[in-house]
Structure 1
Amino acid sequence: MAKIENHKYTIEEAFKNCFYIVPDYQREYVWQEKEVQLLLDDIDEQVGSTTSEYFIGTILVAPVEGDRNHYEVIDGQQRLTTFFLMLCALRNRLTGEDHHGLISDILTTRRTTPEGNIETRLKLEPRYEHAGELVALIAKQDSDPETTRAAVDIEGIPHFGSLNRLLDAYALLHRSLSEKYPTVAELKKFWGYLASNVVFIQISADVSNALKIFETINERGVGLNPMDLLKNLLFTQVDQNEFSRLKMEWKKVTAPLEKKKEKPLRFLRYFIMANYQFEMSRSGKNDSVVREDEIYTWFTKREHARICEYEEKPFEFIRKITRNVEHYLNFREGRDNHGNPSQAMEGLRSLTGAAFSLHYILLLAAVPLPAALFNHLVRQLESFLFYYIFTKTSTKQLERDFSLWADQLRTICAEHDIVEQKRQLDALVQDKFATAMKRLEGQLDDALRRYTLGSMQKYRSNYLLAKITQHVETAFQGSEAPLASFTGLQIEHILPNNPSAALRTHFEQTNPGIDYDEQKNRLGNLTMLEQPHNVVAGNDFFAKKQELYRQSGNYLTRSLVALAQVGSNSSISRMNQKLKSFDEWNAEAIEQRQQLLQSLIMEIWSTTHLEA
């Protein structure tokens, strides 16, 4: 094993003696105001109150071959970068003092090149994106934050993401030093403590060993999240000359998630549970759930490293994650496993919204299925989740179930005989989905009888009525229209939501003992109507709304007034047997329509078999 060295440095000694490079494969500057302010406050508390050293932790570096005292920063760049910006701000505040020249010498280094030229370089050089240009300009400008930002704009240096955080950190440090140390004497006192008493331990080892040390230091996720730790774990598996390539591949994982504002750790959990089978523990328990704080530990276990193959094939492993990211984001947008728009996926997405995502475990596991079978599975999954969501059954067990069912799905996906593949998929749906739905049938019936617009989130009430409307319209038109054609309609209270006094009095007189406000929000009193009709219909009596209902673009609403006259054996005639038109609207009519809608619901959200 190569020699590992450690040295205790003060801030002044570190930047005088060392040249720090933040390699492009490292994560960028992520500190925000909270972290920068906390570091500054910690030092502020020590200034003037003690002469003892203030220890800020360990910095892990790797020597750069051929460049004496040049180091790549493996761990600690957030702190080193912040201290570098702090020195820049302090130097500017001490303009005109001898300290200004002293700090300038600490911030830069001069050396003779092999060609005999003298070059001046900053003591800290971040090499990701345009960070080097930005930090160089901050140091060269030696100005207040506003002037510095203007210079950045003039130079055309981008300042988004980590680059903007660098500018924000400089502004915060400059402002805080001005506010807390308004006089030159106070600033000199702060510099004296910072230069001589703030210390850290610098551990130096070659890159390979440094990354392994980094992994050990952070094995419980201290300071970094599992996504960062996994990235660095992968860097330990490749040669240094492949670092840039690995970084570019890793960007394909993180950048799309960041762009869509998806939580990377949630994705990573689902990726693990969808793609890998969990082995039995010694106690015989198969705990198939990985928590966020367990992700990194899971990857580092010997048996998991073996099944993931990231040690032998790190680039193939990253590409596997990348493919899963692409599918994951497609699913979030209502696309199928081939990235195509899918009515089945749109229905599932409309049901679950952004609040529920456990089903992505199953979807990721099912990616290799033929598109037709995948979309069939999605429709069955939608029915299954409808029962859980609308009965408000706890989904705590579902995460574990989905992880185990994902194992079965991967086996089904690997089946080459399409007939056998269909048989196995039908068996899974029947055994897992249909069985659970049968168990919840009574609860669903009760939940629907008690259902009001306040029972669920508005988007789910809209989804419920839109799906019923779509189902009836499909029978009427003979083809399925996209669900989006109906989710854009408005929910109409047949018995008005805000009735006139005359209408309320009439209802109470003709429906003695029945509470108007309870009836108006029942499922049986709701339908879907185009916005212009909904506005005109307003709060009027049913008799005055009938003509507007007759003009509606969907048959479910038109059927309230009259059923279409068609032949005796058609999809419309069969649907008519399940519908009813009404001459008047009262509590009895609402109850009758409630029952017919519940029957339609049981028909719509059901499991079906594949044709052999």
Structure 2
Amino acid sequence: MARIENHRYSIVEAFTENFYIVPDYQREYVWTDKEVQQLLEDINEQFEADSAREYFIGTILVSPTPDKNHFDVIDGQQRLTTFFLLLCALKHVFKGDEQRKAIGDLISKNYIANDGLIKHSLKLEPRYENAGEIMAKIVELDAEPQTVRARIQAANIASFGSLENLVNAYDTLHRYLQENYDVEAKLRKYLGHLASNVVFIQISTDVSSALKIFETINERGVGLNPMDLLKNLLFTQVKQEKFTQLKDEWKKITKPLEKQNEKPLRFLRYFLMANYVIKNNRNDAVVREDEIYDWLVEKGNAALCDYANKPFEFVRKIIRNVEHYLAFANRQGNDGKSNLTMESLNRLTGGAFSLHYVLLLAAANFPKPLFDHLVAQMESFLFCYIFTKTPTKDLERNFSLWADELRTIGDVTDATEQKLKLNAFVTDRFKKSIEDKTPELSDALKRMSFYSMQQYRTRYFLAKLTQHVDMAFKGLKDPNSLEPYTRLEIEHILPNTPKPELRATWAEQNPSAEYDDYKSRLGNLTLLEKPLNIVAGNDFYDIKKVEYEKSGNYLTRSLPQLIEAGQNTSITRINEMLGAFPEWNAASIEKRHELMITLAKEIWRTAPIEV
């Protein structure tokens, strides 16, 4: 059994006797101003109440390295790093040379290495990314935070994410000392408190045992999120010589998510629901964020993931899902290239809805034509649910179960059979759901106005209608990008801010129709190029319709009159669904509202893929 030692240290004693190394495979510095301030205030509260009383900050878990008194930090580096930065800030604000020298010895010092050479090292050295450079620069400069930040930037040292957290923490600590201990005597007393009364227990054992202890301490997620716990869990499955390799693979998960500001826990939740059969006591097939780690370590699920026997394969599976996840967020298909169907779906969902990523990840290995077809059908399905404002929780269980079906379809090797199974899935899951909600959707669209949805979704709705009409007008089947339409301005045909005489005329001609109600109705909205919109202004319809006839899109251009072009042409066929409006009144708005609903039902519907 591995030898386990424990020692009680004050903060000053710890940095007097020991050198701490934060290995590059460990969690980076994630504390923000909130956590740093909380630690300082907790210490200060006890210090002000009873300066002679000990303040216990918990347990630090370390593993000894070959160099004497050098330890890899396994758990507790957030606290240790914060206290090290506090020492750096204390050294700078102290005026007395004796204190500055004593604190300097707590920050860095010479030591005799195993080879007999004299080496100089920081008492806490982080080895992830450029953290060592950042920390060394803070120590070297011994300066005001703004000077430190400027010099780090001038040295071209990358400082984003956890690296920026180090600089911010130094700033917070420095400012706290200046605001609360501006008198030298108070500052000396505070240093004495750190030297004697702020204490922790240091547990030391070999790396393997330390990681196991770490897992046990944090198995309920105390202080760590499931992503950190999963990382540690995987490190317990490999030999120490594989740590660097595993660390490098793990960065391919965390760094891309961090750079695109995606939430790691949301991704991890969707990854599990997309890739595994989810069973729980609620029988809802859903994994919540706070349940991720418990789900992973449950015996049956651990066997399902098989990370104990194949940790690197499991990590690479997560990496592939990260790549797809970020591609989908960037409107790319499952081939990593720009994708019109994904672009259109993204314009519908925006940043407010992301649960469909469960289905996208589950279908990520589909042949591209099948994947694109699924996305197009999914857009119709989600349009129905989003525009009826159906709560997300109603979809979670279905999406997790449907992901299991999509994985099965993805495993089919016969192309024809795969298409047939996908058509059956779309019919059973999407089409039937849409049919069930059709009355609810019809009611929602009848009540739709400029203010019903977020503006980007209203713009998306109008853009899809406008694109559909243009395609029908030109006899086209395959849509191009929706972007040109989303750049158009939303025009209120009955002006949003009317002239007084226009409002009076409306009231006289439409006595039972409230102006402010009708001006916001769906039937009163259209898309118009900005220059034409400026000219049209807030005038009467007879004046505005001259500008509408100049529009590049037929849905708007056809408002005053339809274009006639022979018999049974693409133009005459779309004309049957539209209508000309020589006058603009309450009846016109109501009629146009109805035809727009009819167009919507034509657009957002499912269709089978050709077998």
TM above 0.5, yes or no, is yes
- Alpha-carbon distance between aligned partners in 2 of 1:261 and 1:304, rounded to the nearest angstrom: 29
Equivalent residue letter for 1:542: Y
Greater CA deviation, 248-257 or 497-506? Answer: 497-506
Distance 1:94 1:319, change over 3 A: same
Aligned counterparts, 1:63-142, within 5 A: 63-64=64-65, 66-142=66-142
Equivalent residue letter for 1:28: E
Aligned counterparts, 1:138-177, within 5 A: 138-149=138-149, 152=152, 156-177=156-177
The two structures have a TM-score, normalised by structure 2, of 0.95
Counterpart residue number, 2:470: 473
SS of 1:378's partner is helix
Percent same amino acid among aligned pairs? 58
Counterpart residue number, 1:197: 197
Counterpart residue number, 1:505: 504
Gaps of 5+ in 2: none
Aligned counterparts, 1:19-98, within 5 A: 19-47=19-47, 49-64=50-65, 66-98=66-98
Distance 1:599 1:172, change over 3 A: closer
By how many angstroms is 1:35 displaced?
1.8
**8 Å contact kept, 2:67–2:114:** no
SS of 1:608's partner is coil
Counterpart residue number, 1:247: 247
- Alpha-carbon distance between aligned partners in 2 of 1:174 and 1:504, rounded to the nearest angstrom: 62
Distance 1:497 1:110, change over 3 A: closer
By how many angstroms is 1:231 displaced?
1.1
**8 Å contact kept, 2:54–2:199:** yes
Greater CA deviation, 458-467 or 488-497? Answer: 488-497
Query: Does 2:385 match 1:385?
Result: no
**8 Å contact kept, 2:55–2:197:** yes
Say which of 337, 352, 355 aligns to 2:352.
355
1:321-341 Cα shifts (integer Å, max 9, x gaps) = 111111111111221111222
Equivalent residue letter for 1:126: P
**8 Å contact kept, 1:47–1:189:** no
SS of 2:435's partner is helix
By how many angstroms is 1:143 displaced?
4.1
1:235-271 Cα shifts (integer Å, max 9, x gaps) = 1111112212211111111111111111111111111
**8 Å contact kept, 1:366–1:409:** yes
- Alpha-carbon distance between aligned partners in 1 of 2:74 and 2:260, rounded to the nearest angstrom: 29
Counterpart residue number, 1:601: 600
Distance 1:517 1:208, change over 3 A: same
**8 Å contact kept, 2:32–2:165:** yes
**8 Å contact kept, 2:51–2:193:** no
Gaps of 5+ in 1: none
Equivalent residue letter for 2:456: Y
- Alpha-carbon distance between aligned partners in 2 of 1:572 and 1:153, rounded to the nearest angstrom: 61
Distance 1:458 1:93, change over 3 A: closer
SS of 2:398's partner is helix
**8 Å contact kept, 1:85–1:170:** yes
Equivalent residue letter for 1:71: F
Aligned residues: 608
SS of 1:39's partner is helix
Distance 1:193 1:489, change over 3 A: same
Counterpart residue number, 1:184: 184
- Alpha-carbon distance between aligned partners in 2 of 1:33 and 1:376, rounded to the nearest angstrom: 47
Equivalent residue letter for 2:587: E
Counterpart residue number, 1:444: 441
**8 Å contact kept, 2:226–2:265:** yes
Query: Does 2:255 match 1:258?
Result: no
**8 Å contact kept, 1:33–1:169:** yes
SS of 1:47's partner is helix
By how many angstroms is 1:521 displaced?
1.8
Counterpart residue number, 2:339: 342
By how many angstroms is 1:500 displaced?
2.5
1:518-564 Cα shifts (integer Å, max 9, x gaps) = 22222222221111111111222222223222211111112222222
Counterpart residue number, 2:3: 3
**8 Å contact kept, 1:53–1:198:** yes
Greater CA deviation, 202-211 or 169-178? Answer: 169-178
SS of 1:57's partner is strand
Counterpart residue number, 1:490: 489
User: How much is the aligned-residue C-alpha RMSD, in angstroms?
Assistant: 2.0
Equivalent residue letter for 2:188: K
Aligned counterparts, 1:199-598, within 5 A: 199-279=199-279, 286-479=283-476, 480-598=479-597
1:178-220 Cα shifts (integer Å, max 9, x gaps) = 3323333322222222111111111111111111111111111
The two structures have a TM-score, normalised by structure 1, of 0.95
**8 Å contact kept, 1:549–1:560:** yes
Distance 1:503 1:222, change over 3 A: same
1:28-68 Cα shifts (integer Å, max 9, x gaps) = 2222222222222222223362423211000000111x322
